[in-house]
A and B are shown apart, each in its own frame.
Chain A
Amino acid sequence: MLEFFAMGGYAAYVWPSWLIGGALILIVSLESRRRLKSAERKLAQLSAPDAASRGAGTGRDSQDAR
């Protein structure tokens, strides 16, 4: 096991490559998801039956509550 993590003495090059790469992939994935969910939430608020009355006033509050 230790031998595996040592990567034949190249641990300092192999693991950072994968960690930085994985982190960047994760950040982009989460940011894209956040952007989609946020837009969909706003649209749902507007499309609700009494959207016109709620939309302007409490839009921001209900978003923060989530």
Chain B
Amino acid sequence: MFDYLANPTRFLKIASYAEPVAWGVFALAGLTGLGLAFIGSPADYQQGETVRIMYIHVPSAWTALFGYLMMAVAAFFFLVWKHPLADIGARAMALPGSVLALITLITGSFWGKPMWGTWWVWDARLTSMLILFFLYIGYIALADGFDRRDRGSKSASILLLVGVINLPIIKFSVEWWNTLHQGASVLRLDGPSIDSSMLIPLLLMALAAKAWFVAITLMRMRAMLTERRLETIASRGGEKSMGAANA
């Protein structure tokens, strides 16, 4: 299957069909999720209306973790099989992933201030999430930080694989250490402890966040593949096409 998809031309064709689907899922799940999150769901018995921050905070966090894992898988494929499409995939995921991690941190602050009385605290969950954001930023800086792109890809891919250790730390930080952050209420061994009136909008927003991440990734992969075609044309065509490719 990977060989089949790894052909850039075929990938571009499939991506041009898959991207509108992802945008459609984003719009549908997002709008329904927003409606339920703000109108169809109750305030929390302890946290009041601030619980509505959850519907952007948690889906962003889940997708930032999911995105990092997908990047690491792509990096692994790139390091082992040297396929450029895997590298392009990882590079394409870096910006949406980093922004979702940033949204998690910002909305978390806005939730922490009224509920905990502080914008920030250096506890395990918050610190490990901040490290995830830095890993994303570090990846972007490394990947683009070399004159020769393949060197950047290799170094950045290694950083990604090393950083995977941070993912279980984030997930289990609320169990391993004492923290202000509340524990898991959805992904639990004994099933979700959150009421379905809140769980359904939360899952819809999570679907919307995933769909957005996929749509942006496909869009950026298409852009990068086109840019690399331009580079190839420029290096073959010499002076004449150079101007247009660099403009």
A contacts, CB < 8 Å to B: 4, 7-10, 13-14, 16-18, 20-21, 24-25, 28-29, 31-33, 35-36, 38-40, 42-43, 45-46, 51-52, 55-57, 59-60, 63
Inter-chain CA distance A43–B48, complex, in Å, is 53
Instruction: Tell me if B233 and A10 are in contact (CB < 8 A).
Output: no
Q: Does B161 contact A (CB under 8 A)?
A: no
Among residues 205 to 235 in chain B, which have CB atoms less than 8 Å away from a CB atom of chain A? 212, 216, 219-220, 222-223, 226-227, 229-230, 233
Instruction: Tell me if B226 and A56 are in contact (CB < 8 A).
Output: no
Min CB distance, A10 to chain B, in Å? 5
Q: Which of A17, A28, A39, A55 contacts B95 (CB 8 A)?
A: A28
Instruction: Tell me if B243 and A59 are in contact (CB < 8 A).
Output: yes
The main secondary structure of chain A at its interface with chain B is: helix
Q: How many residues of B contact A (CB 8 A)?
A: 41
Chain A residue at minimum C-beta to C-beta distance from B57: A17
Query: Can you spell out 24 A-B residue pairs with CB atoms less than 8 angstroms apart?
Result: A7-B52, A8-B48, A8-B49, A14-B52, A17-B56, A17-B106, A17-B111, A21-B60, A21-B107, A24-B99, A25-B103, A31-B95, A32-B95, A32-B219, A35-B220, A39-B226, A42-B226, A43-B230, A45-B244, A46-B230, A46-B244, A52-B240, A56-B239, A56-B244
Q: Does B120 contact A (CB under 8 A)?
A: no
Inter-chain CA distance A60–B246, complex, in Å, is 10
Instruction: Tell me if B103 and A52 are in contact (CB < 8 A).
Output: no
Chain B residue at minimum C-beta to C-beta distance from A22: B56
Q: Does B62 contact A (CB under 8 A)?
A: no
Chain B residue at minimum C-beta to C-beta distance from A18: B56
The main secondary structure of chain B at its interface with chain A is: helix
Residues of the B chain whose Cβ atoms lie less than 8 Å from the Cβ of A31:
95
Among residues 4 to 40 in chain B, which have CB atoms less than 8 Å away from a CB atom of chain A? 38
Inter-chain CA distance A63–B244, complex, in Å, is 10
Q: Does B102 contact A (CB under 8 A)?
A: yes
Residues of the A chain whose Cβ atoms lie less than 8 Å from the Cβ of B227:
39
Residues of the A chain whose Cβ atoms lie less than 8 Å from the Cβ of B230:
39, 42-43, 46
Residues of the B chain whose Cβ atoms lie less than 8 Å from the Cβ of A10:
48-50, 114
Inter-chain CA distance A40–B242, complex, in Å, is 16
Inter-chain CA distance A24–B60, complex, in Å, is 12
Instruction: Tell me if B216 and A42 are in contact (CB < 8 A).
Output: no
Min CB distance, B212 to chain A, in Å? 7
Residues of the A chain whose Cβ atoms lie less than 8 Å from the Cβ of B113:
13
Residues of the B chain whose Cβ atoms lie less than 8 Å from the Cβ of A8:
43, 48-49
The 3 lowest CB-CB distance pairs between A and B, nearest first, are A59-B244, A8-B49, A39-B226
Residues of the A chain whose Cβ atoms lie less than 8 Å from the Cβ of B52:
7, 14
Q: Which of A14, A25, A57 contacts B49 (CB 8 A)?
A: A14
